[in-house]
Structure 1
Amino acid sequence: MADNKPLKILIADDEPLAAERLETLLGRMENVEVAGVASDGDEAVAMADKLKPDLLLLDISMPGQDGIEVARALSEQDDAPAVIFVTAFDQFAVAAFEVAAVDYLMKPVEGKRLETAIERARDMIGNESAPTGKKEKSEYLEEFWASDLSGLVRIAARDIDRVSAERDYMRLHVGQRSWLIHHSMTALEKGLDPEMFARLHRSAIVRKDFIAGFARNASGRWVARLQDDTEQPVGRLYSEKVREISGR
């Protein structure tokens, strides 16, 4: 969509106060337009068909079709709108992931968090409108859902700098922030694109372009110097990765 075109948004929530709060928050943002407000799932589908919004702010627990069912129904359309779930429940994150939601916000929604989700949706819609043909689904993991103070947040795999193991959890490091997910290191190693990521240790995976260089430590073992000025020891079983990445 054109950068100067307002983002057309449909709100679907059976709680009038919650819908009103979203309208108020959107009213403070630039370049957005509230196309309408639906009070149940069936009305949301009908209004989406009629109004052709760019984005739905969609509650999950609603009369008639619930939010997941609404998203599934609309996803079958060629011009399906993007979806951001806004809900009081966090147990639907996996289902939200399956219907390719842009984000998953917990009530009561914070203005800054909503603004971030809206911009993410705007970027996604802009990328999808480019004349590049239908994008094929990658065989590798492209994103993760992780717990956040305001609910759940989607993390793009390409944004992850490194992954470190913490017992039964993996910590995804993105810039100065990090999130824990319940995953195994072996599964992540198989799931992440090997052209982009390398396992350097039994407890560490690093994005290749986040590696600034390699050096030997006092024991003669390889250590990866990272872009954030930290170091990651290279495990003995993974020393061949140094040669693979450096081309030597």
Structure 2
Amino acid sequence: MTFKILIVDDEAHARTNLRLALAPLAEWEVAGECPSAASARDFLQANEVDLILLDVQMPQESGLEMARSLSQRELPPLIVFATAHRGHALDAFDVHALDYIVKPVSEPRLHQAIARAQVLLEQRATYARALRQFTDPAPGFWSELIVRSVGRMDRVALKDVRWIETAGNYVELHLAHHTLMHRTTLTELVKYLDPDEFLRIHRRILVRRDQVLGLRQIQERTDVVALRCGHQLPISESYWAAVKSALSGRNVAPP
């Protein structure tokens, strides 16, 4: 099977360097080279590609803007940014880039990114589903999350999540044996979680109801939610009344 790449960069020598670096990869074909986002759009109207090597800063339309619009497609191409600018890495992953390579691009580093792409292309349907979940969430409550990190995706069933906690611009998904970081806010995520399954006990914490053992007092006027796994999570004052009502009668003795 041959995979197709489109190179998009406003500098001719950069396009040439990328094409030469890709030459040893027998399973990959450079389908086209474009000097701008506009010309790349024209190319993509008539051609399908599996991956785009994309510069960030280009005239008229940036690579970030182009990647964001491409993510709306049902089967979007994978995006690997190749740029001289280090400062856009977080923005790149916000538009679901697979990788971010800083110029000058070394051949081993580029081949590493392409190898990741080849693995993910076998999961193209899952990748498209993940993008749609971020850009156009389906109505109703979710039963799973698609969690992206560099070079991989994890499908996480919400029934397996014990609790969720804010961590800056991410949330931590605490599972039985590991924790995953998911790029969203708790305020946004809670819109898609069934309140019959998850209970907010703190502005930073949601717990899965079936993981709750009960309330436990650890100090005078200080209660926590005790989980079946042994963890104890704090209850904030603003959520205390709702938690007390939801867990009425489920008090447990201190360990």
Q: When the two structures are superposed, what TM-score results if normalisation uses the length of structure 2?
A: 0.54
Identity value in percent: 19
Tell me: CA distance 1:193–1:72, structure 2 relative to 1, closer, same or farther (3 Å). same
The C-alpha deviation readout for 1:207-247, integer Å capped at 9, x for no partner, is x49x7563665759641134xxx61426354255568xxxx
- Who is 2:137 aligned against? 137
- Are residue 199 (structure 1) and residue 195 (structure 2) matched? no
5+ unaligned residues in a row in structure 1: which ranges?
130-134, 244-248
- Who is 1:123 aligned against? 123
- Who is 1:82 aligned against? 77
Which of 1 and 2 has greater Rg?
2
What secondary structure does 2:123 align onto? helix
Mapped partners of 1:171, 1:75: distance in 2? 20
Amino acid at match of 1:106: Y
Q: When the two structures are superposed, what TM-score results if normalisation uses the length of structure 1?
A: 0.56
- Are residue 40 (structure 1) and residue 39 (structure 2) matched? no
Amino acid at match of 2:205: A
Task: Kindly state the Cα deviation for residue 96 of structure 1 after the two structures are TM-superposed.
Answer: 7.7
- Who is 2:101 aligned against? 107
Amino acid at match of 2:123: D
Mapped partners of 1:232, 1:34: distance in 2? 54
Note if contact 2:165-2:206 (Cα within 8 Å) is conserved in structure 1: yes
Aligned with 1:11 (options 4, 7, 20): 7
What secondary structure does 1:24 align onto? helix
- Are residue 20 (structure 1) and residue 14 (structure 2) matched? no
Task: Kindly state the Cα deviation for residue 22 of structure 1 after the two structures are TM-superposed.
Answer: 7.6
Note if contact 2:89-2:100 (Cα within 8 Å) is conserved in structure 1: no
Tell me: CA distance 1:190–1:164, structure 2 relative to 1, closer, same or farther (3 Å). closer
Mapped partners of 1:216, 1:75: distance in 2? 44
Task: Kindly state the Cα deviation for residue 81 of structure 1 after the two structures are TM-superposed.
Answer: 3.7
- Are residue 225 (structure 1) and residue 224 (structure 2) matched? no
Tell me: CA distance 1:92–1:79, structure 2 relative to 1, closer, same or farther (3 Å). same
What secondary structure does 1:107 align onto? strand
Task: Kindly state the Cα deviation for residue 191 of structure 1 after the two structures are TM-superposed.
Answer: 3.2
